[in-house]
Amino acid sequence: MARPPFSTLPERRVPVLVVIAPSKATLDACYETMRYVAVSRIEVTGVSQATTLVAEHRPFAIVLEEDVFAFDPREFQALGRDVGAEIVTVSGQSQHDPLISRLLPELKAAYRRWEQRYDSLG
């Protein structure tokens, strides 16, 4: 008997963080938070490719700088909602320590909620 092309086993979720159009400081801060939040990997994208990348990876959170988010807040909120990701905005003008102070608690909380959602499904 031929095997079906798609598995019926539940999909294993991987904790991915997507960062859209970050400054170097924001990206560095995101990588540093990986030590404290169980992020498997960070995917970086520009605004024009964000929808495709987010749909592909279904991250637990999406990080954007406030000026990028302000470009189209409704669309970014909808994008996050569609894949179950939380939107986290940061100031593009922040220095390293304030960025970490902002990102770390928000990403920990977003990860915890993401994990709870998928634990309750399985």
Delimit the domains of the chain by residue range. 16-121
Assigned CATH for 16-121: 3.40.50.11900
Q: Tell me which of 9 and 62 has the higher pLDDT.
A: 62
Q: Report helix angle 96-121 to 24-33, nearest 10.
A: 50
Q: Is the pLDDT of residue 1 over 50?
A: no
pTM over 0.95: no
Listed range (5-9, 13-17, 51-55, 86-90) with the worst mean pLDDT = 5-9
| Chain position carrying tokens 């400081």 | 25
pLDDT in tens, 39-92: 999 999 999 999 999 999 999 999 999 999 999 999 999 999 999 999 999 998
Tell me the torsion sign for CA atoms 101, 97, 79, 66: positive
Q: Is the pLDDT of residue 25 over 80?
A: yes
Task: Give the torsion through C-alpha atoms of 63, 22, 14, 2, to 10 deg.
Answer: 120
Q: What is the share, in percent, of the chain residues with pLDDT greater than 70?
A: 89
Residues 6 or more apart whose Cβ sits within 8 Å of residue 106: 61, 86, 88
Structure tokens at 7: 């598995």
Please, are residues 85 and 20 in contact by the beta-carbon 8 Å criterion? no
Q: What is the mean pLDDT of the chain?
A: 89
pLDDT score for 69:
97
